[in-house]
């Protein structure tokens, strides 16, 4: 059986099993999160692709999260979904440049930093619940991806939208945010909420002793 048909069979089974539900999210330590995902080159027909994207979206929103990559449900394809209602205070939105991101389904995404500006903020991951850490990332990126109709798209993203795109695209290269975080910033979600949930983690950087761009 070819790799393509194996992936298609696995997606068909996943979609059928969780047609009216959400898929289980793979936890850190599973090899699928540490391998290069295969490029999407039509392994799924149009209807199955749409159904799989909807499953990813349901699973992401129920978690809840603002992005989910196909490997996070066990499918090693270069696909991800992103959506951020940005339901945060005005102060947080301004400090983090976090503004609503409309739903995007991206195939074979990639990004390049635009300029040299970087920012550090706490991130989490649905595949590693209960923890969060600061990742210094490029503030602005040029994002490229293929949409569900097969058209190649380019977006200039900044702030939190750029962060989400980078985080999910990294997943497709077998990279998890913990590979890029400032080690001394790593905290339980409870400690983050109780101690470090400032709009900008300047105080956490000073008290925990980590670098902040």
Q: Which DSSP letter does residue 185 get?
A: G
Nearest-angstrom CA–CA distance, 200 and 182:
15
Q: How many helices (H) and strands (E) does the chain have?
A: 6, 8
Q: Out of 51, 83, 168, 182, pick the active-site residue.
A: 168
The helix, strand and coil proportions of the chain, stated in percent and rounded to the nearest 5, come to: 40, 25, 35
Task: Return the residue matching tokens 């695209």.
Answer: 169
* CA gap 142, 201 in Å, rounded: 25
Catalytic residue at 168? yes
Cα–Cα distance for residue pair 170/193, rounded to 1 Å: 26
Do 174 and 34 form a contact (C-beta atoms < 8 A)? yes
- The phi and psi torsions of 30 (rounded to 5 degrees) equal -80, 135
Write out the catalytic residue numbers: 168
């Amino acid at each position: 059986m070819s790799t393509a048909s194996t992936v298609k069979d696995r997606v068909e089974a996943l979609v059928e099993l969780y047609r009216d539900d959400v898929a289980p999210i793979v936890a850190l330590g599973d090899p699928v999160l540490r391998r290069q995902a295969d490029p999407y080159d039509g392994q799924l027909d149009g209807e199955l692709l749409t159904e799989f994207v909807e499953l990813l979206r349901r699973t992401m929103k129920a978690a809840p999260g603002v992005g989910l990559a196909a490997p996070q449900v066990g499918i090693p394809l270069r696909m991800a979904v992103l959506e951020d209602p940005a339901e945060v205070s005005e102060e947080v939105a301004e400090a983090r440049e976090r503004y609503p991101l409309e739903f995007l389904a991206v195939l074979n995404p990639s990004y390049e930093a635009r300029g040299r500006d970087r920012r550090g903020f706490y991130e989490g991951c649905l595949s590693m619940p209960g923890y969060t850490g600061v990742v210094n990332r490029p503030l602005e990126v040029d994002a490229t991806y293929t949409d569900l109709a097969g058209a190649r798209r380019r977006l200039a993203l900044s702030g939190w939208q750029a962060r989400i795109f980078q985080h999910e695209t990294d997943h497709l290269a077998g990279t998890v945010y913990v590979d890029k975080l400032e080690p001394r910033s790593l905290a339980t979600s409870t400690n983050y909420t109780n101690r470090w949930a400032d709009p900008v983690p300047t105080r956490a950087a000073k008290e925990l002793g980590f670098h902040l761009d």
